[in-house]
Structure 1
Amino acid sequence: MNTQKLLSIFIIFAVLTCTFMAVGCTEIDNEDDIIEAEQDEEIVASPDEIIDIEWQWSGLTETFPASQSVVPDPENYKITLRSDGTYSIKADCNIGSGGYTMEGNELTLAPGPITLAYCGPDSLDSQYLSLLSNVTTVSMEDDQLVLGIGDNGDRMLFVKGDVAEQ
């Protein structure tokens, strides 16, 4: 009888182990689905929606560590993508320009000439320029321009400013 009890306990343990493993796999799949759904919320930006508009940097979402910050003076940090493949920027007291390529939701900003004035200790000009140099994607989300930074999921958020002068 001892052997039967031992065999029953072993079978129960094996069934429980398989059940927990199956539940664990299901949860991982659900998390993947959630991540995919969140990524689907971003809409590929059509050139007509983003070209020749003065976009103002309003916020930054970072993934590691997770944080979201608001830019105190968005009108001091602007980017305008032009239809001829060039862009112009304002980084607080500095201005610059360069070229860009956009294919689907992939965006690459090539550096160009920029002024290098010291804008003061509270300026975000260095951070802004550093982030722009690592842009990899572009999309629209809730009428905001979203520039993806690198491969880690960081995102720069821009609100619409004026229609840019030609």
Structure 2
Amino acid sequence: MEQTTQDSLDPNHSLADTDWYLVEFQSMDDAIGTIRPDDPRLYIMRLKGDGTVSMKLNCNRGVGDWSAEANNETSGGSFQFGPLETTRALCPEPSLDEKIAADTAFIRSYILEDDKLYLSLMADAGIYVWQRYDSSIGALFQAEPDPAIEAAILDAFPDYRQEIIGEDGQQARYVYSRVDLNGDGKEEVLVYPMGSIFCGTGGCDLLLLTPEDCAYSLINSFPISRLPIIVTDEVAAGWQNLIRPESGGGATPSYVLHVFDGQQYIEQERLPGDVQPEGISYLLGEPTFDEGAILKLN
């Protein structure tokens, strides 16, 4: 396979800087037929304008390169992925993470039609059908620098200084999603800082901020969390419930339900980790460290 390169991608390509979720895999083998994921939130693909791709693959994530060349006579053209690097967690069955990761090496063409992206395997082995991402699935993470969010993070972590991370240490990064949790028309912010001071083997700290004048104040600093964060329809003390995934460090994967007590969120119940609870997901997209906004030191 010819390796893709970031330089080979036209930055004005119609697929550049687009987000997709998996609808189905159509096999040409009648014995396999069509395979659809139980939850489309589990499989998300972000084709970036710099020629890189990031994927959420159930409980795993993948990063690599992509390239495409449009055919002026059709709504498609050639398409290839470069080698995809993935994490190796064992996802609950049924899962398509391993199949998708393996099949990326054999994608050869695409068709873009009615907000659907059809990626075809070589030798007519099958077609992956992706739907353009929309807010009904949830909210992808944001990484545009925000001084007010940064100030709130630094207030919550005053020890984030050069002497803590060391002279050779990297500055931390952060991503976030906005959501109105209490129906007042003002959006709270779920913030996920990434870096040695914030993270462990089970994920990273999670902050919940609420707007206050021209700044943000801290409501909760949750312990080590995975993503995405789920907001349910159920309400306590006027605020929607939150659910965090926890795994890693030898602990059994689980979801942690939090309810608002009038001042902050408190843990109410632990749920099995094999089925994602109902609700709208935030901080979707499996952000990598390099994708986050740089957090300046205190």
TM-score range, shorter chain: 0.5 to 0.7
Q: Which structure 2 residues correspond to residues 64-143 of structure 1 after superposition, within 5 A?
A: 64-65=29-30, 67-104=33-70, 105-143=77-115
Correspondence for 1:3: none
Instruction: Encode CA deviations 1:13-69: one digit per residue, 9 max, x unaligned.
Output: xxxxxxxxxxxxxxxxxxxxxxxxxxxxxxxxx823x32222101111111227223
Alignment CA distance shift 1:71-1:121 (3 Å): closer
1:128 counterpart SS class: helix
**Offset of residue 161 of structure 1:** 1.2
Q: TM-score normalized by structure 2?
A: 0.37
**Offset of residue 108 of structure 1:** 0.9
Kept after mapping to 1: 8 A contact 2:108/2:120: yes
Correspondence for 1:157: 129
| Selected match of 2:118 from 137, 146, 159 | 146
Aligned residue identity for 2:107: V
Alignment CA distance shift 1:53-1:78 (3 Å): same
**Offset of residue 112 of structure 1:** 3.5
| Ranges in structure 2 where 5+ consecutive residues have no aligned partner | 1-11, 71-76, 135-139, 144-298
Kept after mapping to 1: 8 A contact 2:84/2:101: no
Matched, 1:57 2:25: no
Between the aligned partners of 1:114 and 1:137, the Cα distance in structure 2 is: 22
Answer 1 or 2: which has greater strand percent.
Answer: 2
Sequence identity percentage: 25
Query: Which gives a bigger RCO, structure 1 or 2 (Cα 8 Å, sep 6+)?
Result: 1
Q: TM-score normalized by structure 1?
A: 0.64
2:29 counterpart SS class: coil
Structure 1 ranges of 4+ moved more than 3 A: 162-166
Between the aligned partners of 2:114 and 2:125, the Cα distance in structure 1 is: 18
| Ranges in structure 1 where 5+ consecutive residues have no aligned partner | 1-45
Aligned residue identity for 1:157: V
Between the aligned partners of 2:84 and 2:102, the Cα distance in structure 1 is: 13
1:151 counterpart SS class: helix
Q: CA RMSD in A?
A: 2.1
Q: Which structure is larger by alpha-carbon Rg, 1 or 2?
A: 1
Alignment CA distance shift 1:114-1:135 (3 Å): same
Q: Larger deviation: 60-69 or 101-110?
A: 60-69
